[in-house]
Amino acid sequence: MTQENIYQKVQSLIVKNKTSDVFIFLKEHFPKAESLTILESEYNEVRNAELKGTLDHHQIQIKKNQINDKLLAFAKDGISPTPTKNSTRQIWKPLFYFMLLVLPALIWWNFKSSSLDCPTFANEINNKILVIPFSNLGGIEKNPQLLLCNEINNLANKKQLFINAKVGSSIKNLTIDEIPKIATSCQVDLIVWGTYEQGDSLELILNYYFSNYPDSTKLGEYATLKNVSSIQKGQMSKKITDAALKLCALTVLREGNIPLAKKWIKKQEFKDENDVTLLERLD
């Protein structure tokens, strides 16, 4: 299994709230990774605290999210499962720090010099959505990015909203750290990317990132730091129609159109825990 496939599998399990399965999966590929053992111990402590009720739900979720972020970083970087000897570590340590300083600049230069395919939007569009082609986790090859754009644009057109979604160029191993640079280069308000799997139905594992924070004056009582942060970026596992409804709901919510946001969230065929929580906060 390639490093990219490992990363995508880990991401898929995390989105489905199967962190325990992530540890089982990673230990099969990195059986001697000490950092993975330590991270699993931290996760077990969080689970015990959750069962005993010594931490509230918000604290538990923060700690789980931190562990999930570390697991994604582990899966992406391909950390060696074999501990290195001190002599070898001393040789590679200067090179490591050199690469740590140089790599971000090289990555940014690559983005600047590469021909990033940024779609063109009409001037009147005030919510520009860039959908980066989804990676296929398995099954029949599809074009979910095109279907998602069509669903979003149909919803916007029916309400005569200045929202428009277009497909950009494909980018492999895309990480959240690279997203702000792409948003700046393409001058878009929302970037959507992720993976898909064709089973009985087409399921998206979708990431979203808004490039700007909303105007708090438009959000009324909803404009708390916790609430705004929760709709700034995130992940979801949904079918295409539900994904379009949720993305459009978040977009209009950021503009203060709470009634329409609630309507679109309720219209989803399947609502996850985040949807239920969001509706409770909006009521």
Higher pLDDT, 266 or 101: 266
Position 244 scores a pLDDT of: 97
Chain position carrying tokens 């808004």 = 210
Position 251 scores a pLDDT of: 94
Per cent of the chain over pLDDT 90 is 31
Distance between CA atoms of residues 275 and 190, nearest Å: 19
- Residue 210: pLDDT band (50, 70, 90) is very high
Position 31 scores a pLDDT of: 81
User: What's the whole-model pTM score?
Assistant: 0.61
Residue 270, pLDDT > 80, answer yes
Chain-wide mean pLDDT for the chain? 81
Distances in Å between the Cα of 160 and the Cα atoms of 125, 157, 164, 246, 257 are 11, 5, 11, 18, 13
- Residue 112: pLDDT band (50, 70, 90) is very low
User: 122-133 pLDDT, tens per residue?
Assistant: 988 999 999 999
Phi, psi of 198 (to 5 degrees): -100, 105
Position 117 scores a pLDDT of: 77
According to DSSP, the residues that pair with 238 across neighbouring strands are 204
Output b/e per residue, 127-164; b: 16+ Cβ within 10 A.
bbbbbbbbbebeeeeeebbebbbebbbebbeeeebebb
Residue 87, pLDDT > 60, answer no
Least confident residue range of 4-8, 145-149, 264-268: 4-8
- Residue 79: pLDDT band (50, 70, 90) is low
Position 14 scores a pLDDT of: 83
Beta strand 233-239 with 202-210: parallel, antiparallel or unpaired?
A: antiparallel
- CA dihedral (158, 159, 160, 165) positive or negative: negative
- Residue 75: pLDDT band (50, 70, 90) is confident
Residue 55, pLDDT > 80, answer no
Least confident residue range of 117-126, 154-163, 236-245: 117-126
Residue 220, pLDDT > 50, answer yes
